[in-house]
Amino acid sequence: MKRQISYLWALMTANMKSYNAERKRLFVMALFMMIQNAMFFGLWVIFFQTVGDLKGWKLVDVTRMFGLAASAIGLSLFFFNGARTLAYRVMDDSIDSFLTRPRKALPMLLMSSSSPASLGDITFGPLLWLTLGEVPLSLFPWFVLLTLFSALIFTAATLMMFSIVFWLKTSSRFPEQLFEMLIILSSNILHGQPFGVKALMFTIIPAGFISYLPAQLMRGFDPLLFGILLVATVFYAALAAYIFNAGLRRYVRGVV
């Protein structure tokens, strides 16, 4: 176990060191991601300046939710962007390089790639909380903990979506479309959505667990909601690992 943790730490360190030679590019990409987030969030500002509130939700609530979603997505893509490369690795058979190593393929795959632009997402969340979210510093550890849970669920959902390629090898665009839908739904509030969309956000595309449920906990601690979030995190992580390993067995047998 200790050797496995040391190996994963080495992978993460290697990803970070790879940016040393391109710090200017890293800064520019992160900056543009923050600008993109600010432009999208500006739509929420305009909306709530017009309507005031939506079923009890005010701009401050959406600010906290949007900041959490941005940081959670950023953490996932910075540390575990390898999940997004799964479809392409299966398509060109480069996933074989992970199968020939003595260590488990999944952790290596997840940490095999990092998105530099995601640093903008990670930074944008806390900045949003401090400027518009009315978040006291005493609550920051609680908000960070919720963000970590959200990041784990987002990573699990991403892995499940891109594992589809084990069954639909000819379609690499479909997982990308699901991934984009996950980001969009994770950045929107649940109020006003039809029942079908709400059901989707708490099942197949767990955007509700990524942003809405943690946002409810940001409004006030609820032991039941927190327990549901814990169970959802473990469930989706286990389900993602199961689906990936099932698909990998198909690949090894030559079914894919």
Tokens of 3: 């050797």
pLDDT at 158: 98
pLDDT at 92: 87
The per-residue pLDDT for range 155-210, each reduced to its tens digit, is 999 999 999 999 987 667 889 999 999 999 999 888 777 888 888 899 989 999 99
Contact 229, 209 (CB under 8 A): yes
Position 116 pLDDT exceeds 90:
no
Contact 154, 186 (CB under 8 A): yes
Tokens of 104: 């488990």
The per-residue pLDDT for range 136-167, each reduced to its tens digit, is 888 999 999 999 999 999 999 999 999 999 99
Beta bridge partners of 179: none
Beta bridge partners of 54: 57
pLDDT at 85: 93
Q: Look up the pTM and report it.
A: 0.93
Tokens of 65: 């939710």
Domains: count for the chain: 1
- Cα radius of gyration rounded to whole Å, the chain: 19
Reported as half-sphere exposure (CB side, CA atoms, 13 A), residue 235 has a value of 11
The residue with tokens 């305009």 is 46
3-state class (DSSP) for residue 57: strand
What amino acid occupies position 32? F
The per-residue pLDDT for range 79-103, each reduced to its tens digit, is 999 999 999 999 888 898 888 876 7
Q: Which domain holds residue 78?
A: 2-253
What is the pLDDT averaged over residues 57-62? Answer: 92
